[in-house]
Amino acid sequence: MAMANNKTHNEEFKQRINEQNHSLMKQINQWERNSIEIIQQKAQKCREILIKSSETLIYNNAKKFNSLSEQIKQIHRENEIDLHYLKNQLANIVEELNNPPNISPQQNSQPIIDEISIISLKKSKLNKWKQNAVTVAGGNREEQALNELSHPHGIFIDEKKNILIADCTNHRIVEWKYDAKEGQIIAGRNGKGDRMDQLNYPTDVTIDPQNHSIIIADSLNRRVIQWQNQYQQILIRNIDCYSLAMDKQGYLYVSDIVKNEVRRWKMGEYNTEGIIVAGRNEKGDQLNQLHYPTFIFVDDDQSVYVSDCFNNRVMKWKKDANEGTIVAGGNGCGENLNQLAFPHGVIVDDLGQIYVADWRNHRIMCWCEGRKEGEIVVGEHRKGDQSNQLNGPHGLSFDDEKNLYVVDNRNHRIQKFEIDL
């Protein structure tokens, strides 16, 4: 019975859509006919003006020839010949014949027909999230037990909502399965160090979708390292790495907090120097500079968003650009809606809205590109450890349901803010 009802509702929905489309199609066809008629009328008017103008030119020149002829006859009868005068008159007429007026169509900036477009009547709006979060990892104490975290930094969430966490001062990468009460160590179980099986303050983690290996920003070992089934290899050496990102083409992006730049590497070419995609001009606050770039995000167009921490702004560098644009902050360090204070995590949704972990303001901001100020998403209740508070937020991520995950660094936990439908 339920299936039959669903089928009936679906057929009714399809019928309503088809009726709506039929009505809209009639309006579009009518607009087309009206526009063609207006254009044809305008074209015919221009033709008439052109013909009339040409006829007037021909008539005026003939009149001048006739006048000159009469003058010659008159001069002949009176036997008074003024050759200089006749020569000038004839020259003027010849000049007009050789150089007729330059007639050309002129396009008006004002359209002669009304434009038409199709828009959705259901306007998009900013997503909202419940202000009281659920702790999905850590939050017990700042210790090393499997249900604890210590100053977590970056996170990665897979399609099953499992969370990979750069458990920074525990020098390990921990995976928390969906709804798990504790995590599992998947990299760095051998304590702080620089051996291949050790980590030293890891700050970010991502997954290579090609081979499902784990890639880690092993910050104080100054290397980007890959872990796959307990086998380790160094991908990039001698880099003061902080954050990682991978685009859909398989390029790896790494922020460097000492060189104040972001570089990109093609898979399998990690032995090269990579390509600078943001920064490249030492530290500074100009549009072609960065100062302590922390987290990064790469969109489908390979534009790179950078939390330019010490400049209190987020920069967007389009692919192959020589400088970036400010898309959030950039008005000094502060807590006003047009300011940020040492931004960290940054992500961009499908609508191009930019979410920033405003570290010292203990809040998450949303900025629409081109706007002068942002909007507080979560964390309006100042610093704290309650479910509606944050303390030094770092990494950010969405799951496939658009729930917002925040690395609550100083509370040693990962907070999940559920989308408020």
pLDDT given for residue 141 in this prediction: 82
* Residue with the larger pLDDT of the pair 374 and 90: 374
Read off the tokens for 399. 């799951």
The pLDDT tens digits of the residues spanning 39-60 come to 887 778 778 777 876 776 676 6
Read off the tokens for 38. 């207006």
Average pLDDT, the chain: 86
pLDDT given for residue 72 in this prediction: 60
Mapped onto helix, strand or coil, the DSSP state of residue 139 is: coil
pLDDT given for residue 116 in this prediction: 64
Instruction: Quote the CA–CA distance of 139 and 370 in Å, as a whole number.
Output: 37
Low-confidence winner among 84-88, 263-267, 285-289 (lowest mean pLDDT):
84-88
Say yes or no to pLDDT of 384 above 90. Answer: yes
How does DSSP classify residue 13?
A: H
Instruction: Quote the CA–CA distance of 65 and 190 in Å, as a whole number.
Output: 108
SS (H, E, C) 190-203: CCECCCCCCECCEE
pLDDT given for residue 124 in this prediction: 43
pLDDT given for residue 28 in this prediction: 85
Read off the tokens for 374. 């942002």
The pLDDT tens digits of the residues spanning 318-358 come to 999 999 999 999 999 999 999 999 999 999 999 999 999 99
pLDDT given for residue 50 in this prediction: 73
Q: Which residue has the tokens 């099953």?
A: 160
- Would you give the end-to-end CA distance of the chain in angstroms? 29
pLDDT given for residue 61 in this prediction: 67
How does DSSP classify residue 160?
A: T
Instruction: Quote the CA–CA distance of 137 and 165 in Å, as a whole number.
Output: 9
pLDDT given for residue 395 in this prediction: 97
Mean pLDDT of 175-179: 94
Counting residues of the chain whose pLDDT is more than 90, the rounded percentage is 62
Angstrom CA distances, 409 to 178, 203, 280, 377, stand at 20, 11, 29, 18
Mean pLDDT of 7-16: 64
User: Residue type at 6?
Assistant: N
Mean pLDDT of 58-78: 61
Instruction: Quote the CA–CA distance of 89 and 82 in Å, as a whole number.
Output: 11
* Cβ atoms of residues 312 and 294 within 8 Å: no
Say yes or no to pLDDT of 222 above 60. Answer: yes
pLDDT given for residue 31 in this prediction: 74
Q: Is the dihedral of CA 333, 335, 336, 342 positive or negative?
A: positive
What is the separation of C-alpha 292 from the centre of its chain, rounded to a whole number of angstroms? 22
Mapped onto helix, strand or coil, the DSSP state of residue 29 is: helix
pLDDT given for residue 264 in this prediction: 97
Mean pLDDT of 228-235: 90
* Cβ atoms of residues 315 and 305 within 8 Å: yes
Q: Is the dihedral of CA 172, 176, 177, 178 positive or negative?
A: negative
Instruction: Quote the CA–CA distance of 182 and 149 in Å, as a whole number.
Output: 10
Instruction: Quote the CA–CA distance of 234 and 199 in Å, as a whole number.
Output: 12
How far is it between the farthest Cα atoms of the chain? 127
Say yes or no to pLDDT of 9 above 60. Answer: no
Angstrom CA distances, 252 to 60, 236, 279, 308, 311, stand at 76, 11, 16, 19, 24
What backbone torsions phi and psi does residue 300 show, to the nearest 5 degrees? -65, -20
Low-confidence winner among 35-39, 191-195, 273-277, 310-314 (lowest mean pLDDT):
35-39
What is the separation of C-alpha 296 from the centre of its chain, rounded to a whole number of angstroms? 13
For every residue of 62-74, DSSP letters joined together read: HHHHHHHHHHHHH
Read off the tokens for 221. 């070992």
Instruction: Quote the CA–CA distance of 170 and 191 in Å, as a whole number.
Output: 7
What backbone torsions phi and psi does residue 105 show, to the nearest 5 degrees? -70, 140
Nearest to 184 by CA among 175, 171, 195, 196: 175
pLDDT tier, 35 (very low <50, low <70, confident <90, very high otherwise): confident
Instruction: Quote the CA–CA distance of 68 and 162 in Å, as a whole number.
Output: 99
pLDDT given for residue 81 in this prediction: 46
